[in-house]
Amino acid sequence: MTVSQISLAFKNCKKEKKAALITFTVAGDNTKKNSFKILNSIAKHADILELSFLHNCPIADGGQIQNSTYRALRNGTTLKDTFQIARKFKNNNPNKPLILMGYYNLIYQSGENNFIKNCKLSKVDGLIVVDLPWPENKKFAQKCKKKSINFVQLVSPTTSKERMKKIIKDSHDMIYYISMLSTTGGKLKVSPKTILKNYAKIKKIDKSKNLVIGFGITSKNISSFKKADGCVVGSEICKKISKSIKNKQNPVTNVSNMVKNLRKRLS
Amino acid sequence: MAKIKKGIPLIDQHDKNGFWGKFGGNFIPETLKKPVEDLALLFSKLRKDKKFIKERDYYFKNWVGSPTSFIKLHNLTEHLDGAQIWAKVVSEANGGAHKIYNATVHSLIAKKAGKKYIVGDTGAGYAGKMLSMAAKKFGLKCKIFMGAKDIKRQKPNCDAMRKNGAEIVPVYTGSQTLVDAVSECMRYWVSNCDTTHMCVGSTVGPNIFVKICGWSTSQISRELLVQIKEEFGGIPKKLKLINCVGGGSSSFGFWNEFMHYDKKQIEFIGVEAAGPKKSKRHAAPLTYGSKIGILHGSAQYVNQNSEGQIEETESISAGLDYPGVSALHCFLKDTKRARYTAASDEEALNAYQVVTKFENLNPSLEPSHAFAEAIKIAPKLSKDTIIIVNSCGDAHKDRDILKQRLGKF
């Protein structure tokens, strides 16, 4: 297997001695066009981009991402649109890794193989499926791996060490550590110090794996996580889009500036 | 084809991943894996613990008020002039509906788990009301998640919840009904699973919640089995057990003890909500052949569009207004052990009028759906056929809707 773009992104960051910045935006937010424009403009600053495919019963998302999701659903964004946005982005930025994130029902309705086929056609680099935990995801993760799509495993503060080891063993090029007990976008209720302590414990299990931290990370606290392999910011970006619309400003410019600033703070 | 095994409770007939055939499972975020596993382990220990069973039975008897009565509806039987109509009056249970069984058991489990907080979802408000009662009884702090639309239409139950000291959290997302309340409740649990116990209000959600709820409501059929034997000196040759199905907790509990009987002898009929006449937004995924999908952590037949977005439902009965249905019922449908049909809002209202005209019984809009089916089929059946309807809720909570639609309550 050739080295994945996700792997390369982490390698490059390590060379430059910085943590990878991973952004999360919602497909079709606030419009189909803008969501592509946002991806395209933040690609300059972000190392890996996550794009969520929509589901209207998101059981693990906080208010900000829900707002973005419902906004995108209201403007008629479909799974097909999501793949089109992804494809257009990858055609413009062939070396920038793009990860799709969402809930399993959309994959289930597409059929796993068909969904993977569409990912390949859009040149998607990885997948995060929020409600398909290990070991239930083993088969699907293997299917993804066969097609050179990274299946990103998640671990959380409730994951036992025993389980953690098994998950890490089955993981591909990136593992996502959920910083605290929360839905996305919750206020950071644990100190960065504690999060980093847990992070170090997980990292110790297999140092070769790229481990990123997500949930509750914002411009305000991101500089505390410089030592991690990577940090994910999502809800703050979604919030920025909501605010931009409210203030009749251009969400593309605003988000782009925000991500530029995030990059600065994480370096 | 999927088959029901003999000699094993249906709630235990799932594989190691939690599936009954194609249904159920645990489609949950990683953070919930451990709390769900802990709960499953605790429950498996408790149900074998004689002391715990004794405690449960004590509260069921002395606090819930078991057994609820089993009565013949003489006037209705005479009026319909066919099969005999009987009712299991589960609405006599403390609080006025079957939801008290699940609420009591969850509160007892929460205590054993050392949790001080309990949260739950509610549609019609019964699950919430009962959980608030049980939480108060067992000294737990309680939060209830409820769709904003349901808060408006089920005011009496909301008043009761507040009186019991529970906090009602209104949910404004999506259709603002049960489906969104369950999602929001699960989100809350993701954030607070270290201190808080979650009670899912029906036989839905991740595998363990289906099991606990089914185990709890089975009290209904345990009582009924004894009552039937006393009344008829055995099990009648032609018996039909009719129950409304929303999430499916009352119907599962009503049928469980009769699971291994031949369906030619004991037929299970589940009645879903067809919604307003001519409405396409029914809440009857079993009746109208909805596709399998994932909702609230479980694979089930669920109303959804082709890409997998969950569709809004519409029903006069908040308790049945749910786009999915218990994995257990999906399994009962596939194994053909139960038959499912639907009644419209109008049919349920009509049934309510007929029942209350002839009998001293006041079924809520949910069991009125079941009565609609009984009224429909009874005249065509022989007089030695016994129809039992689970009158699982009291219409007190529906008084505003009934006043508006029928001009009286």
Return the CATH number at B44: 3.40.50.1100
Pairing of strands B141-147, B196-199: unpaired
The verdict on a CB contact (< 8 Å) between B308 and A109 is: yes
pLDDT at B1: 73
Nearest CA in chain B to A180: B191
pLDDT surpassing 80 at residue B408: no
Q: What is the ipTM of this complex?
A: 0.96
User: pLDDT tens-digit profile of B326-348?
Assistant: 999 999 999 999 999 999 999 99
Same domain, B169 and B189: yes
**For A97, phi and psi rounded to 5 degrees?**
-65, 135
Half-sphere exposure of B333 (CA within 13 A, CB side): 26
Cis before B67 (ω within 30): yes
Same domain, B196 and B245: no
Same domain, B282 and B321: yes
CA–CA gap between residue A233 and residue A220 (Å, rounded): 11
pLDDT surpassing 70 at residue A15: yes
The verdict on a CB contact (< 8 Å) between A106 and B307 is: yes
Structure-model confidence comparison of residues B273 and B279, the more confident one: B273
pLDDT surpassing 60 at residue A1: no
CA–CA gap between residue A64 and residue A59 (Å, rounded): 13
The verdict on a CB contact (< 8 Å) between B308 and A55 is: yes
Same domain, B276 and B292: yes
Return the CATH number at A204: 3.20.20.70
User: pLDDT tens-digit profile of B344-374?
Assistant: 999 999 999 999 999 999 999 999 999 999 9
Taking alpha carbons only, the member of B184, B200, B65 closest to residue B131 is: B200
pLDDT at B154: 87
Does residue B3 lie within any of the structural domains?
A: no
Cis before B29 (ω within 30): no
Does residue B162 lie within any of the structural domains?
A: yes
Paired tokens of B17: 């991943």
CB of B41 less than 8 A from some CB of A:
no
Same domain, B120 and B139: yes
Same domain, B226 and B352: yes
- What is the residue range of A201's domain? 5-266
Taking alpha carbons only, the member of B8, B13, B32 closest to residue B24 is: B13
Prediction pTM value: 0.97
User: pLDDT tens-digit profile of B53-67?
Assistant: 999 999 999 999 999
Q: Which residues, numbered 224 to 243 in chain A, qualify as contacts with chain B under a Cβ-Cβ cut-off of 8 Å?
A: none
Helix (H) or strand (E) holding B342: strand B338-344
Q: What proportion of chain B, given as a percentage, has pLDDT over 70?
A: 100
Same domain, B132 and B72: no
Number of domains, chain A: 1
Residue A60 is nearest to which of B29, B34, B173, comparing CB atoms? B29
What does the mean pLDDT of chain B come to?
96
Query: DSSP readout, A77-142?
Result: --HHHHHHHHHHHHHH-TTS-EEEEE-HHHHHHH-HHHHHHHHHHTT--EEEETT--TTTTHHHHH
Same domain, B36 and B185: yes
Residue that has been written with the tokens 């991500």 in this structure: A259
- What is the residue range of B208's domain? 27-60+98-214
pLDDT at B124: 83
The verdict on a CB contact (< 8 Å) between A108 and B308 is: yes
Nearest chain B CA: its distance from A136 CA (Å): 8
Residue A105 is nearest to which of B25, B186, B308, comparing CB atoms? B308
Same domain, B53 and B134: yes
pLDDT at B298: 98
CA–CA gap between residue A107 and residue B388 (Å, rounded): 42
Examine the fold and report which residue of B196, B214, B232 is the final residue of a domain before the chain moves on.
B214
